[in-house]
Structure 1
Amino acid sequence: MLLDLPKMEEIQIKNGSAKIKFDEFNQRVKILSFKGDLEDLMNQLTVYENKCTIGKIFSIIPKEDIDVYKSQGFIIEAKIDQFLNGQPAYFLSKFLTSKRKTSMHLPEEEEVLIRSREYISEDYINPTYEQYTIRDVRKEDADELAKLYDEVFETYPSPLNNSTYIQFAMDHNVFFKVAVYENKIVSAASADTDPINLNAEITDCATSKSFTGHGLIGRLIFELEKDLKTRNYKVLYSTARAISTGMNIVFAKHDYVYGGRLINHCHICGQLENMNIWCKVF
């Protein structure tokens, strides 16, 4: 049985119903869809707030739904163009505690963002390698890949240190690229695809500590992009730790545009952290 997976639920509300994803590990609830009375839904979600330290409710919505969400205390944190099958999407969040909406590292994160935006994609050339093999992940790689994620991250928003979960993800529209050195996986990245809305999240980027600084993540992103273009995806996006200079620079180099910041959004590297949204329209 898989552990720590968000739980999908359908809730009956006034004049309709809603689908939510309850994510206890990241202490948040995502509203996947709703039709009916949003105020009634918010009242019902207080059950989660009271029983298990949920501090944030968020949703990704079209422009026409913004006013309804704002009336219930949501704020806009980010925007991605063409996210919903060619139409823009907005990331809105409601913070249930003052602690959850407070960030102590905004000055440092703004410095990271300024430095990242100084990089111009036209000046960047993806490295070529003789010593590394870049390839797709196979099911039999799951154990080795799980060990890489366990080495790199103290905690991660999804249980990628679990090989069974990696195989589960591969069966549910996630595909991985890896860099291999002397028959050992030393770097990995994935694309979590939405075939209906034709968007894909570039995520799960990790490089073994002994191989950082070689541009491997950038090359893996480049290879993922090539595959996604052939599948007619319209937009790619990623959430990068706002305090991580390296990952934010990687996306800036690859012509991704900053779309906003999600406050205290993911439990990663041992704590809740802010995540920068980067997006790229084909």
Structure 2
Amino acid sequence: MFETIEKIDGALVYHGNMHKRIYFTEADNIDLDILLPKMHDLAKRQQYEKILGKAPEQEVNALQAKGFSVEAKIPGLYNGKIDGYFLAEYPNKKRYTNDEKSLKTIATVKTIAKAANNSHSDSHFEMPIDFNIKKLTAADFKSLEDLYHKAYKYHPHQIKDDTYFSKLKELNHRFYGLFQNGELLVSTILCINEAESNMEIVDFITHPNYRGQNLSYFLVQEIIRQMGDYKCKTLYTMVRATSYGLNITFSKHGFLLAGTLKNNCMVLNTIESMNVWYLKKTL
């Protein structure tokens, strides 16, 4: 499987050798004195280099006392009332550092993207008439897997498959696709957390022949419209910190920057930092 997803002492934990990282969430009301030693043991056994946690405000001090540092903050992430934090610890200290060139690129992307938030002259493009968006079902998973094969032809370790999509569906993920004449061109995965009244855009995937056309823009518009249907007050996502296009896209839609997760995941053959963007909506 692309990544192992399991419950450990009540926390939902994602981990795997591709990212060499543990990501735990749903950590509220969990005994960190029990959970964290297990995270450290898992990291040691699998030689993971980073441990990332998403936690509400009341858990921040306890995590910081155990060596975690805040990398991003989303106001009102939990039910629109309690702030949410992404905190990280680095068992491999080398994972924490960035070279000067990467740091400059990340800073430039942030500056340009933030400026786009203040310019709404082209914020609402009309979708071409021969395109349509639909919610994907399990019957579409093979087509979705095929899209991943096309997009990651030379990076097969990054291909998500039918089995992984089915597992995500069980964990309340939803799938949307942008089609042209019946062909799936772009897809996104949403993680819906009804208990927290938030949802995360987990992934975008684009057909290699259509890259650079900013087609994900239309899916973002559709997802924002879906927030009310899912009763979600906050929408957030993680975007490659060196990607001008997606950072600008989210900023133009009114998303705000929450912070940057350092060297957070593998993209193609490179460990990439990720910018966290969020959007608030009153239901």
Q: TM-score w.r.t. structure 1 length?
A: 0.87
1:21 paired with 2:20, answer: no
Alpha-carbon spacing, 1:36–1:167, altered in 2? closer, same or farther (3 Å): closer
Q: CA deviation at 1:157?
A: 9.6
Residue 85 of structure 2: which of 90, 93, 109 is its match?
Answer: 90
Residue 52 of structure 2: which of 44, 50, 58 is its match?
Answer: 58
Unaligned runs of 5+ in 1: 12-17
> What CA distance in whole angstroms lies between the structure 2 residues aligned with 1:260 and 1:244?
15
Aligned partner of 1:30 in structure 2 is 23
> What CA distance in whole angstroms lies between the structure 2 residues aligned with 1:157 and 1:258?
30
> What CA distance in whole angstroms lies between the structure 2 residues aligned with 1:223 and 1:157?
30
> What CA distance in whole angstroms lies between the structure 2 residues aligned with 1:192 and 1:21?
14
Aligned partner of 2:246 in structure 1 is 247
Alpha-carbon spacing, 1:41–1:179, altered in 2? closer, same or farther (3 Å): closer
Q: CA deviation at 1:139?
A: 2.2
> What CA distance in whole angstroms lies between the structure 1 residues aligned with 2:8 and 2:209?
45
Aligned partner of 2:168 in structure 1 is 169
> Is the 8 Å Cα contact of residues 176 and 189 (structure 2) preserved in structure 1?
yes
Residue 122 of structure 1: which of 120, 123, 132 is its match?
Answer: 120
> What CA distance in whole angstroms lies between the structure 1 residues aligned with 2:159 and 2:57?
32
Alpha-carbon spacing, 1:204–1:41, altered in 2? closer, same or farther (3 Å): closer
Q: CA deviation at 1:156?
A: 9.2
Aligned partner of 2:177 in structure 1 is 178
Unaligned runs of 5+ in 2: none
Question: 1:3-43: per-residue Cα shift (whole Å, max 9, x none)?
Answer: 243242535xxxxxx646250232222344364463x6544
Q: CA deviation at 1:271?
A: 2.6
Q: Which amino acid letter does the alignment assign opposite residue 5 of structure 1?
A: E
> Is the 8 Å Cα contact of residues 157 and 266 (structure 1) preserved in structure 2?
no
Aligned partner of 1:222 in structure 2 is 221
> Is the 8 Å Cα contact of residues 8 and 35 (structure 2) preserved in structure 1?
no
> What CA distance in whole angstroms lies between the structure 2 residues aligned with 1:208 and 1:264?
25
Q: Partner of 1:250: helix, strand, or coil?
A: helix
Q: CA deviation at 1:111?
A: 0.8
Aligned partner of 1:194 in structure 2 is 193
> What CA distance in whole angstroms lies between the structure 1 residues aligned with 2:185 and 2:76?
33
Residue 76 of structure 1: which of 70, 76, 91 is its match?
Answer: 70
Alpha-carbon spacing, 1:192–1:99, altered in 2? closer, same or farther (3 Å): same
Alpha-carbon spacing, 1:132–1:83, altered in 2? closer, same or farther (3 Å): same
Alpha-carbon spacing, 1:189–1:50, altered in 2? closer, same or farther (3 Å): closer
Alpha-carbon spacing, 1:139–1:111, altered in 2? closer, same or farther (3 Å): same
Q: Partner of 2:254: helix, strand, or coil?
A: coil
> Is the 8 Å Cα contact of residues 77 and 84 (structure 2) preserved in structure 1?
yes
> What CA distance in whole angstroms lies between the structure 2 residues aligned with 1:130 and 1:169?
31
> Is the 8 Å Cα contact of residues 237 and 280 (structure 1) preserved in structure 2?
yes
Identity, % of aligned positions: 22
Aligned partner of 2:210 in structure 1 is 211
Question: 1:130-163: per-residue Cα shift (whole Å, max 9, x none)?
Answer: 1212222132221111121232246599752x12
> What CA distance in whole angstroms lies between the structure 2 residues aligned with 1:255 and 1:149?
29
> What CA distance in whole angstroms lies between the structure 2 residues aligned with 1:174 and 1:234?
17
> What CA distance in whole angstroms lies between the structure 2 residues aligned with 1:241 and 1:168?
24
Q: Partner of 2:96: helix, strand, or coil?
A: coil
Q: Which amino acid letter does the alignment assign opposite residue 174 of structure 2?
A: F
> What CA distance in whole angstroms lies between the structure 2 residues aligned with 1:44 and 1:133?
45
- In the comparison of the two structures, how many residue pairs are matched? 272
After superposition, residues 41-52 of structure 1 pair within 5 angstroms as 41-52=35-46
Q: Which moved more, 1:93-102 or 1:129-138?
A: 129-138
> What CA distance in whole angstroms lies between the structure 2 residues aligned with 1:114 and 1:175?
32
